[in-house]
A and B are shown apart, each in its own frame.
Chain A
């Protein structure tokens, strides 16, 4: 099966208009830099998870990481121009909240579901 080569400029214009356009260069650079910085922040927050003197410190570190991951999902949505990742970030936020509540209940009462 041979590839279809479009040479008609008017048809090319129509085709390029229907494709999801690549983000502008400045936006892409900013979003990529923000992605790298958010990843670094996740690694830095894991210091508090590993080293934190008490258990609530670790929970707070995990909470910060979860919020950073939500921001990363939104940034991926901006970078790839796909709105699906906004929904992904919402689901991640829900999971993070449930995890926080469960761990707080576990620390207080020693069990989550009795």
Chain B
């Protein structure tokens, strides 16, 4: 009886998170935002479903398979999302207005230059793009 109640509660929670993930997939404005919306809630929802399976089947063979499924999801879904985000950035999908990549050098992929070369170059436009977002690395402070 208690076991059935727990299984029902976990299934309801999992369905809720799957619904939230799909709504975010449909309504958010950008590839990166949509991926953020699908990866985390669907991970939680499917992990909740697997936990329901574990509670239902008990700690036997199938229950342990369900726990392995949770571990697998927590390992692979962030990896896959990261690879899709990287691919989207590589093929040039633009960000939402005002958002920059955490490391702008990786975004623009310049040829390898040392920090001193960049600081001495007055025509380096990346310094001015990054100065607002990275306090303490404005370039002039190196002089």
- Chain A residues near B (Cβ < 8 Å): 23-24, 26-27, 30-31, 33-34, 37-38, 41, 44-45, 47-48, 54-57, 59-61, 63-64, 67-68, 70-71, 74-75, 77-78, 83, 86-87, 89-90, 93-94, 96-97, 100-101, 103-105, 107-108
Contacts and interface: CB of A to CB of B under 8 A. Distances in A.
A86 B73 CA distance: 13
Given A30-B12, A71-B46, A90-B69, A64 B91 contact: no
A23 B56 CA distance: 10
B4 A64 contact: no
Contacts of B65: 83, 86-87, 90
A54 B76 CA distance: 23
A89 B62 CA distance: 11
A44 B22 contact: yes
A64 B21 contact: yes
A97 B76 contact: yes
Contacts of B91: 54-56, 107-108
Interface centre among A24, A48, A61, A104 (most CB of B within 10 A): A104
Contact of A101 (B43, B61, B80, B85): B80
Contacts, number: 159
B18 A30 contact: no
A63 B24 CA distance: 14
Interface of B: 4, 7-8, 11-12, 14-15, 18-19, 21-22, 25-26, 31, 34-35, 38-39, 42-43, 45-46, 49-50, 52-53, 56-57, 60-62, 65-66, 68-69, 72-73, 76-77, 79-81, 83-88, 90-91, 93
28 contacts: A24-B4, A27-B4, A44-B22, A45-B25, A56-B87, A57-B34, A59-B84, A59-B87, A60-B25, A70-B46, A74-B46, A74-B49, A74-B69, A77-B53, A83-B57, A83-B65, A86-B53, A86-B62, A86-B66, A93-B72, A94-B72, A96-B80, A97-B80, A101-B79, A104-B80, A104-B84, A107-B87, A108-B90
Given A30-B11, A31-B11, A70-B46, A97 B69 contact: no
